[in-house]
Amino acid sequence: MTAISSVTIRRARRDDIAAIVAMLADDALGSARERIEQPLPPSYFQAFERVERDSNIQLVVAEDGEGTVVGCLQLCILPGISSQGASRGLLEDVRVAGDRRSRGIGEQLVQWAVREARANGCKLVELLTHQSRVDAQRFYQRLGFARSHVGMTIRF
């Protein structure tokens, strides 16, 4: 059994973007969607600025003991009328670096986000995971998530 890597979870900074994009691209679905040339396309930095300005969104990274970024996650806390006006949490872009998987890093990220959502009054945390990501679905089930919904998407 591989040892658990204890990580520090902190807000992402502008100089983490390259590491985040590399993790998003290191994936069967993500590789077709991202561009990892240097310098990175400016659209990534513009998006980071939009994320930074939005007080309901936290983009965080997991950092190992050497200060290397080994995971990321975006948590949106969304107000809404339903469920008696309870906010809900939405998890997006949960990734762990390819050479650091199966060491509990994703679990630490998701559990951080669930705690943060609860602390902000959410009664629900939700996410969409592609039908083909069977391992991810098992991972989330182990953390208490149910396969309760169908996630539907339209791309332009």
Q: Can you give the binding site for its own copies, defined by CB under 8 A?
A: 17, 20-21, 24, 30, 33-35, 41, 43-48, 50-51, 54, 56-57, 59, 74, 76, 78-88, 90, 92-93, 114, 118, 122-131, 133, 137, 140-141, 143-156
2 vs 82, beta carbon nearer its own copies = 82
Nearest to 112 by CA among 152, 153, 155, 143: 143
Encoded tokens for 131? 């039908």
Answer whether 75's CB lies under 8 Å from 60's CB: yes
1 vs 41, beta carbon nearer its own copies = 41
Minimum CB distance to its own copies, residue 1 (Å): 26
> Token pair 């513009």 is at which residue?
46
Minimum CB distance to its own copies, residue 107 (Å): 13
> Token pair 């290397």 is at which residue?
68
54 vs 68, beta carbon nearer its own copies = 54
48 vs 112, beta carbon nearer its own copies = 48
Answer whether 79's CB lies under 8 Å from 120's CB: no
Minimum CB distance to its own copies, residue 38 (Å): 15
Q: Give the C-alpha separation, 100 to 22, whole Å.
A: 14
Minimum CB distance to its own copies, residue 64 (Å): 20
Encoded tokens for 6? 């204890």
Crossing angle of helices 105-119 and 134-142, in 10° steps, is 60
11 vs 147, beta carbon nearer its own copies = 147
